[in-house]
Chain A
Amino acid sequence: MSATAVSAKMHRFDCMRVLAPLLKDELVILSLGASVDEWYTAAPHMRAASLFQQQLGCVTPQAFGLAVGLPHRRIVSLDTDGGMMFNLGILATLANEQPKNLLVVVWDNECYQSIGGPPTHTAQGRVDIAKIAQGAGIAEAHTATTLDAFEALCRRGLVAEVPFVVVAKVSKESFRDVRRKHSDGREDKYIFVRHVEATEGIVVMGPSEHN
């Protein structure tokens, strides 16, 4: 069922169901909040390839670090308006560094949804994250307000050889009829790292000297 019926805006979960089939070998870093359960439900095939990170302002920097370490692999950051506003500096860093393998999606629901929905700085309609990104020097920074536009932008961003930012204007509602993730940050990290090791043929967390 579609969640968009309750709002004129896109619903994040519907966007995720558009994005998920486009992903296969990518690695995903995603932000905190209800989007975690939504993503693991919308993209079950990406479970081991997705790492939930809990801190505002660190999702896209971590995704960029991953992109630096694995330049042959496409990395996707699923960030938020609150997270991006927390550290706008990463947009300037991405502009200077020009990673060729990083797609940043910003779920802009204009609120801090996970704590009940108080407004973020984008709520008053003056603050435009895509324009901020453009001003920081990211030429490919766009806003999507329809699912068709969102899908088209993601398709471009997944093959772009410049940093690519898609700000998805989504409704405040979360989609609650989803399966809950049971793992914590440590288990998530091990799942993710073992997936990186298996798919890259590398060792990230190796054995100790003695058992």
Chain B
Amino acid sequence: MTPAAVEAVIAGLKAAGISVVCYLPDSLFKELYPALDADPDIRTIRVTNEGEGAAICGGVFLSGKRAALVMENSGLRAAIEPLARMGMGAGIPVVMLMSYRGDLGENNWWAVPHGMTMEPLLTAMRIPYRVVDDAAKAKQAIQDAVTWSYASYYHSAVAITGGLVR
């Protein structure tokens, strides 16, 4: 991940009022996680799986603070069950920031399923999302996702791809 992309993502999180980030680390966001850990304005919580991270984010929402779940897009599959129940059952939103593994340009066979499943799963869950491959658009995308989730009380997602994560 480029330094400019890391800076843009963190700027977006802060502009959106995010003060808690739950994450399960991955390779495409490798440079983002230590930068989040080092940021004095953001509390990071390392989780054991993305479903747990989604639930913690839901709890943070109930407190009035704002949280984001940061992960590889394979984590979406792990988080679908709590996302469905929290979002559809109770209207508790989770904002997700994902690395887009398996997008065109992917050179790992094991990551191809991540790309094949991410957008159909988001669509099935009726989760609006934006795919970002330009650092200049990352900050606004994150702000827009948070704004939408706090109007709909439903989940939203930003997927980072292309040269930003390779």
User: Once the chains are docked, how many angstroms separate the CA of A185 from the CA of B88?
Assistant: 9
User: Once the chains are docked, how many angstroms separate the CA of A20 from the CA of B74?
Assistant: 41
A157 at the interface (CB under 8 A from B): no
Task: Kindly count the residue-residue contacts between A and B in the assembled complex, taking CB atoms under 8 Å apart.
Answer: 120
B58 touches A188 (CB 8 A): no
B52 at the interface (CB under 8 A from A): yes
User: Once the chains are docked, how many angstroms separate the CA of A55 from the CA of B52?
Assistant: 11
A64 touches B56 (CB 8 A): yes
| CB 8 Å contact bits of B27-62 with A (1 = contact, 0 = none) | 000000000000000010111110111111111111
Those of A173-203 within 8 Å (CB) of chain B:
184-186, 188-189, 192-193, 196-197, 200, 202-203
Secondary structure dominating the interface of B: helix
B58 touches A93 (CB 8 A): no
A125 at the interface (CB under 8 A from B): no
User: Once the chains are docked, how many angstroms separate the CA of A51 from the CA of B90?
Assistant: 10
B59 touches A89 (CB 8 A): no
A70 at the interface (CB under 8 A from B): yes
Residue of A nearest to B85 (CB): A55
Which chain A positions have C-beta within 8 A of B91? 185-186, 189
Given contacts A65-B67, A93-B46, contact A205 B52 (CB under 8 A): no
Residue of B nearest to A208 (CB): B151
B65 touches A68 (CB 8 A): yes
Which chain B positions have C-beta within 8 A of A62? 55-56, 58-59, 62
Those of A72-92 within 8 Å (CB) of chain B:
87, 89-90, 92
B63 touches A66 (CB 8 A): yes
A29 touches B49 (CB 8 A): no
For the complex formed, measure the closest distance between the CB of A136 and the CB atoms of chain B, giving whole angstroms. 10
A204 touches B151 (CB 8 A): no
For the complex formed, measure the closest distance between the CB of B25 and the CB atoms of chain A, giving whole angstroms. 14
A61 touches B55 (CB 8 A): yes
Complex partner residue of A66 from B43, B47, B60, B153, CB under 8 angstroms: B60
B61 touches A68 (CB 8 A): no
Which chain A positions have C-beta within 8 A of B150? 205
B105 at the interface (CB under 8 A from A): no
Which chain B positions have C-beta within 8 A of A188? 90
For the complex formed, measure the closest distance between the CB of A64 and the CB atoms of chain B, giving whole angstroms. 6
| CB 8 Å contact bits of B102-129 with A (1 = contact, 0 = none) | 0000000000000000000000000000
B62 touches A66 (CB 8 A): yes
Residue of A nearest to B59 (CB): A65
A205 touches B60 (CB 8 A): no
B86 at the interface (CB under 8 A from A): yes
B58 touches A202 (CB 8 A): no
User: Once the chains are docked, how many angstroms separate the CA of A112 from the CA of B43?
Assistant: 36
B64 touches A197 (CB 8 A): yes
For the complex formed, measure the closest distance between the CB of A161 and the CB atoms of chain B, giving whole angstroms. 18
For the complex formed, measure the closest distance between the CB of A29 and the CB atoms of chain B, giving whole angstroms. 7
For the complex formed, measure the closest distance between the CB of A193 and the CB atoms of chain B, giving whole angstroms. 6
A96 at the interface (CB under 8 A from B): yes
B20 at the interface (CB under 8 A from A): yes
Q: Which are the 5 A-B pairs with shortest beta-carbon distances?
A: A65-B59, A69-B63, A89-B48, A61-B55, A62-B59
